[in-house]
Amino acid sequence: MPESLTPVDKRPPALTGVPETMLWPLFQRATESLRPDGVLRDPESVRIMRALDYDFVGHFGVPGGSLAARAAAIDRAIIAWLARHPAGQVVSLGEGLETQSRRVDNGRMRWLSVDLPESIALREAFLPPTDRFRHMAISALDPAWMAGLDAAEPIFIVAQGLLMYLPPEAVRGLFAGIAAGLPGATLVFDTVPPWLSRLTLRGLQQTPRYKLPPMPWGIARGDIARTLRRWCPGIGPVEFLSYALPRGVPGVLGQFMATAPMLRNQLPSLVLTSLAPAQA
Ligand SMILES: C[S@@+](CC[C@H](N)C(=O)[O-])C[C@H]1O[C@@H](n2cnc3c(N)ncnc32)[C@H](O)[C@@H]1O
């Protein structure tokens, strides 16, 4: 995309509701990538952000970088996993305009992006699918995406910025379905705390111009491991990956809160776990 892009050349994303939320992490990754002290390098996000006709600051405010830090923490988990499984398959549920596959690519892994049809349509305008980077325009709640995977290779599933937008019963069904259909898979997902879920259900304005869609699934960090064990018997160790605002007083405060059990229940969480292997 040429640097001289004018607003006339740009494309409106034409998204509403939950699909529109994909523009927020895109904006954070791109702006973070443009900072000399940014927490990740993501030229593809910069390219896509510059090609969209959208008032990012007007909708989301000045970016703090926490969503870019979340993406960078997931990158590290995938890179570590790919070092053990170089031909592994990564599935990203609700992938939006995330360019994680390009950041972690080792040249051998395969990647499946699953998202709703309108979201995949926008993604394909910027990131056409290839043999190794495939797309499925389907709800993550439709188990049909599992059928497209190669049972011979290990699987890593990412659900970044997705589960909070689903009803709790749908989240339970998704976990149970993955546990049954893809035993042994590694899983990374993030959650929001109940107070934030409640605020969005009442109607939370991020800026005067933008109201967050409802996030019906909120869960305290202290409840995550036992909930997963109930939903997916035999699940492996549940690890919390740390990520925070990359800089400034709120970032330091977040890091402090993460050290105290009562306070960390009030924070979003990023979880790494693995599902029980198939029964012999
Ligand atoms: C906050 S965005 C996150 C996008 C991306 N994972 C990222 O971090 O940049 C939420 C995404 O979830 C997708 N989504 C919402 N409901 C979905 C569903 N039932 N199945 C698949 N994707 C869904 C939206 O289309 C959107 O792309």
For position 1, what pLDDT does the model report?
A: 45
Ligand 1: residue whose CA is nearest its atom 7: 98
Ligand 1, closest atom to CA 92? 6
Residue 110 and residue 89 in contact, taking contact as beta carbons nearer than 8 Å? yes
Whether residues 33 and 81 share a domain: the answer is: no
Q: Is 272 helix (H, G, I), strand (E, B) or coil?
A: strand
Whether residues 191 and 219 share a domain: the answer is: yes
Which residue has 């937008």 as its token pair?
A: 165
Low-confidence ranges of the chain (pLDDT < 70): 1-8, 248-262, 280
Total tally of structural domains belonging to the chain = 2
Indicate the residue among 24, 44, 60 that finishes a domain. 60
For position 7, what pLDDT does the model report?
A: 54
Q: What residues have CB less than 8 Å from 113, skipping those under 6 apart?
A: 92, 95, 98, 101, 120, 123, 129, 133, 134, 135, 136
Distance CA 222, CA 224 (A): 6
| CA angle, residues 162, 71, 226, in degrees to nearest 5 | 55
Residue 86 and residue 109 in contact, taking contact as beta carbons nearer than 8 Å? yes
Which residue segment(s) compose the domain that 212 sits in? 66-274
CA of 96 to the centre of ligand 1 (A): 5
Q: Is 212 helix (H, G, I), strand (E, B) or coil?
A: coil
Pocket-testing residue among 15, 18, 122, 166, ligand 1, by greatest number of atoms within 8 A of Cβ: 18
Q: Is 251 helix (H, G, I), strand (E, B) or coil?
A: helix
Whether residues 162 and 195 share a domain: the answer is: yes
Q: Is the CB of 44 under 6 A from ligand 1?
A: no
Task: Please state the separation of Cα 181 from the chain's center in Å.
Answer: 21
Residue 280 lies in a domain: no
Q: What residues have CB less than 8 Å from 107, skipping those under 6 apart?
A: none
Ligand 1: residue whose CA is nearest its atom 2: 22
Residue 279 lies in a domain: no
For position 217, what pLDDT does the model report?
A: 98
For position 172, what pLDDT does the model report?
A: 98
For position 245, what pLDDT does the model report?
A: 80
| Count of CB atoms situated within 10 Å of the CB of 86 | 12
Distance CA 167, CA 259 (A): 29
Whether residues 200 and 78 share a domain: the answer is: yes
Residue 175 lies in a domain: yes
Q: What residues have CB less than 8 Å from 180, skipping those under 6 apart?
A: none
Here the contacts of 30-38 (C-beta below 8 Å, separation 24 or greater) are: 31/63, 31/65, 31/68, 32/63, 32/65, 32/68, 32/69, 32/246, 33/68, 37/246, 37/247, 38/65, 38/68, 38/246
Nearest to 82 by CA among 39, 132, 127, 128: 132
CA of 165 to the centre of ligand 1 (A): 8
Whether residues 20 and 102 share a domain: the answer is: no
Give the pair of three-digit tokens for residue 30: 């791109």
CA of 162 to the centre of ligand 1 (A): 5
Distance CA 226, CA 68 (A): 28
Nearest to 126 by CA among 103, 98, 104: 98
- CATH number of the domain bearing residue 100: 3.40.50.150
**For residue 51, what is the enclosing H or E element?**
helix 43-51
Residue 269 β-bridge partners? 191
